[in-house]
Amino acid sequence: MKIRQLSATDAVDYRDVRLEALKNNPEAFSSSFEEELEYGSEVYEGRLSHEHIYTFGAFVENRLVGTVTLICETKKKIKHRATVVAMYVLPEQRKSGVGKALMNEAITKAKELKDIEQIYLAVTANNEPAKRLYNSLGFDTYGVDKNGLKIGDAYFDEDLMVLTV
């Protein structure tokens, strides 16, 4: 397995993995499959080209099998914060260390950036495997966003977590 930061040249592969994530686990993301299906590759190229956003990909035999994004805040009062979003590992690669490797890469990047002191994330409250991973990396739950997501008539709580780096 190889982990590296994605660039605009990875946009097509990133889009494929992202759409699979949104389709297979809609409760895990604030974006929807239907919304992002309409986006062309240029939208994904743009996402992978911001200087304060770092998206990492895990590759097995040159195939993108997982992603995670670290978004660093740019406003003066909150520049000490970053947020992890869009964490996803293909089902056949789960429990193989891919998720942990991706998260470690994002945490390492945050530590390299001089301003970042805290990393935040939100995880669907019933996603026990993800919560175990985040806890194992030092993230602590500091709150719950009740009914944070609504899909159709179903609501999902999100646990809010933070890691001090």
| Residue 157 bridge partners (DSSP) | none
Q: Name the pTM for this structure.
A: 0.96
pLDDT of residue 78: 98
Q: How many CB atoms lie within 10 A of CB 61?
A: 7
Query: Model confidence over 133-143: pLDDT tens digits?
Result: 999 999 999 99
Closest Cα to residue 56, out of 23, 91, 87? 87
Q: Region 48-65: what's the mean pLDDT?
A: 96
Residue 139: Cβ within 10 Å count: 23
Q: Is the pLDDT of residue 160 over 90?
A: yes
> What is the predicted pLDDT for the residue at 41?
87
Q: Was domain 2-164 assigned CATH 3.40.630.30? A: yes
Q: What is the pLDDT of residues 61-87, one digit of tens each?
A: 999 999 999 999 999 999 999 999 999
Residue (of 62, 129, 144, 137) closest to 106 by Cα position: 137
The model's pLDDT over 13-51, given as tens digits with 9 standing for 90+, comes to: 999 999 999 999 999 999 999 999 999 889 999 999 999
- The pLDDT assigned to 33 comes to 97
| Burial (0-12, 13-18, 19+ Cβ within 10 Å), 62 | exposed
pLDDT score for 73: 97
